């Protein structure tokens, strides 16, 4: 396929294909609400989580760069602390095999931050 000669319709098709990254397929994903997601290799995210058999989708994700806690990750259930450092990440799509676990949070405490 010659990219310089693609029609508008072909470009829209490509855009639709790539636009599905980090968006769960309709009717196939389970919604978990706002969660802290622990991934392998030390990655921690917080965001609006849904999963299907193969993928964990984290919308409006923030990477938890620094917990800022003294008693562990669970202290963030009620929102970030003064020492917590969050980085905007956008949408994250991680394979389910990389998910270590979820931590349920008080959604109303995190909603305005996401």
d(Cα 78, Cα 95) in Å, to the nearest integer?
A: 27
Q: Average pLDDT in the 44-70 region?
A: 96
Give 1's contacts (C-beta < 8 A, 6+ positions apart). 10
* Average pLDDT of the chain, as a whole number: 87
Give 51's contacts (C-beta < 8 A, 6+ positions apart). 24, 29, 30, 32, 57, 96, 99
Q: Average pLDDT in the 24-29 region?
A: 65
Token reading at 102: 């979820």
pLDDT of residue 28: 76
- Give the other-Cβ count within 10 Å of 97's Cβ: 8
Q: Average pLDDT in the 9-33 region?
A: 66
- pTM given for the model: 0.75
Check whether 51 has a pLDDT greater than 60: yes
d(Cα 49, Cα 71) in Å, to the nearest integer?
A: 24
At the second CATH level, the architecture of 3-110 is: Roll (2.30)
- Cα–Cα nearest to 51, from 102, 112, 104, 109: 102
């Amino acid at each position: 396929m010659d990219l310089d000669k693609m029609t508008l319709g072909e470009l829209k098709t490509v855009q639709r294909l790539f636009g599905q990254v980090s968006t769960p397929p309709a009717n196939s994903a389970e919604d978990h609400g706002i969660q802290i997601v622990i991934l392998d290799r030390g990655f921690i995210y917080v965001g609006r989580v849904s999963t299907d058999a193969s993928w964990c989708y984290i919308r409006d994700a923030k990477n938890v760069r620094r917990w800022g806690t003294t008693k562990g990750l669970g202290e963030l259930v009620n929102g970030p602390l003064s020492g917590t450092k969050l980085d905007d990440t956008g949408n994250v799509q991680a394979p389910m095999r990389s998910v270590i676990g979820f931590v349920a949070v008080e959604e109303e405490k995190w909603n305005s931050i996401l």
